Amino acid sequence: MISVAAIRMKQFGVQFYQASLTARDIDKLVRFEVLSYGEQSHPPVRGGKGRGSASKVNWDLLERRIAANEKAYQRQIIRRKIDELVQYYEQCRQARDLPSIPGAVIISCDEPLRFESVDGDVPIGTLKVPEREGILRAIDGQHRLLAMHADIERFGDEDFTVPAVIFDRLPEDHVVQMFVTINAKHTRLNASHLVSLSGRQLYADENLAAAHDVVRVLNDREDSPLYGDVKLLGVGAGRVAQAPLAQELKKLLGGEAFGGGRKGDAFREDAKRFFVNYFKQVALVFGGAWNGRKYSIKTATALRAFIRVTPDVVRRLDQEHVERSDFRAIGRVIAPWGRRIGDLRFESDGAWKGTTVDQLTKELRLALQYPEGAAV
């Protein structure tokens, strides 16, 4: 155990501590991690490495300190932000007129903490923290602490303490909610990252969770025509962000578009298979556009329209009394799109200009209603 000076705090029945941790305590006890997804994971750090030797950060060493896994909640580390913080710490040390980390970082401890009051129920005392590497997780302040870690060898024998708010085994969903509350507005946490946290960890909305899983499968499965094309967490090389697709799916899965009661529940459970097969057939029907470079069929606008029209496709499948996720049956139902709409409709510099989600959805629906091109 390490002993640190602390104040015991209470808010709405929740107990936590304001404590003073040394730079060496922080460096040893805090683990750094970012949210990432398996084989499709992004590197834990984003941004260029700077010009020549301008950076004072040993990025090879620092990146090895950062874990990336799908049980974390933090975003990618921004290289520029770390560089700027390290430069600021250097200025503070040289000028000695300002503290470099005056505000408290927020931390959760994985194991029980023990508080010893100086006298009875007085909220001032000593906090005992288990001395185990990586036992603390940063909820707010990860960039500041990483910059300190990158710069700590220059601290020498400096007496350097960091103000910290420490929670004792805060439940996982509370950790994520606090992270979202702190970051959603002030640092513009992107919408796709919020979708992942809601769908994967908070599960505050079952429909958003199901929508998130569908988007993940479309992006992650090698047999999906959208493999690697979605910007999971709002970053990466994909063509379209995760959030607009997930929100479109959420609206459909949350209503009765696919049937109420057990029928709707059954579709939600099979939604991943349906949408993979559905987009496989879309990629076949519009093969030229799907595989071409001068087409906008893989934009958020087009993909949202294809998602929005799926209840009409499902109704046709139900009328034929076939399984909703049947690959060949889906192909038969949407085959009129090839005749009625065609690849040229998605040509970026041609017919696509000015197209909206509502407009394309209407065209797709009409082609299903009048497969032979009857007048409307």
Distance CA 231, CA 240 (A): 6
Q: Within this chain, do residues 241 and 310 fall inside the same structural domain, yes or no?
A: yes
Q: Within this chain, do residues 163 and 205 fall inside the same structural domain, yes or no?
A: no
Q: Within this chain, do residues 106 and 216 fall inside the same structural domain, yes or no?
A: no
Does a structural domain hold residue 237? Answer: yes
For residue 38, pLDDT over 90 is answered with no
Q: How far is CA 206 from the centre of its chain?
A: 17
Q: Within this chain, do residues 9 and 74 fall inside the same structural domain, yes or no?
A: yes
Q: Within this chain, do residues 235 and 143 fall inside the same structural domain, yes or no?
A: no
Helices (H), 66-163: 79-95, 142-151
**% residues pLDDT > 90 (the chain):** 41
Distance CA 105, CA 90 (A): 20
Q: Within this chain, do residues 195 and 173 fall inside the same structural domain, yes or no?
A: no
Q: Within this chain, do residues 174 and 249 fall inside the same structural domain, yes or no?
A: no
Token pair listed for 25: 């305590």
Helices (H), the chain: 23-29, 59-65, 79-95, 142-151, 172-186, 191-197, 206-220, 242-254, 261-285, 287-291, 300-308, 310-319, 327-334, 336-340, 357-369
Confidence of residue 376 (pLDDT cuts 50, 70, 90): very low
> What is residue 52's predicted lDDT score, i.e. its pLDDT?
43
- Give the mean pLDDT of 122-129: 94
Q: Within this chain, do residues 215 and 117 fall inside the same structural domain, yes or no?
A: no
Give the pLDDT confidence of 188-227 residue by residue, as tens digits. 556 566 656 655 454 456 787 888 889 989 998 999 999 9
For residue 126, pLDDT over 50 is answered with yes
> What is residue 75's predicted lDDT score, i.e. its pLDDT?
67
Pick the last residue of a domain from 186, 219, 253: 186
Distance CA 267, CA 248 (A): 16
**Phi–psi pair at 288, nearest 5 degrees:** -65, -45
For residue 89, pLDDT over 90 is answered with no
- Give the mean pLDDT of 295-323: 94
- Give the mean pLDDT of 94-98: 76
Q: Which residue has the higher pLDDT, 100 or 371?
A: 100
Token pair listed for 137: 């997780």
- Give the mean pLDDT of 77-92: 85
Does a structural domain hold residue 376? Answer: no
Residue 6 belongs to what domain range? 2-186
| pTM for the predicted model, two decimal places | 0.57
Query: If you count DSSP H runs as helices and E runs as strands, how many of each does the chain have, helices first?
Result: 15, 13
Q: Within this chain, do residues 178 and 262 fall inside the same structural domain, yes or no?
A: no
Pick the last residue of a domain from 186, 202, 227: 186
- Give the mean pLDDT of 293-311: 94
Residues in contact with 209: Cβ distance below 8 Å, sequence separation at least 6, in sequence order: 198, 199, 200, 203
> What is residue 92's predicted lDDT score, i.e. its pLDDT?
83
Q: Within this chain, do residues 210 and 324 fall inside the same structural domain, yes or no?
A: yes
Does a structural domain hold residue 375? Answer: no
Distance CA 27, CA 161 (A): 11
Q: Which of 251, 352, 371, 266 is nearest to 310 (CA)?
A: 251
Least confident interval from 186-200, 226-240, 276-290, 360-374: 186-200
Pick the last residue of a domain from 165, 186, 207: 186
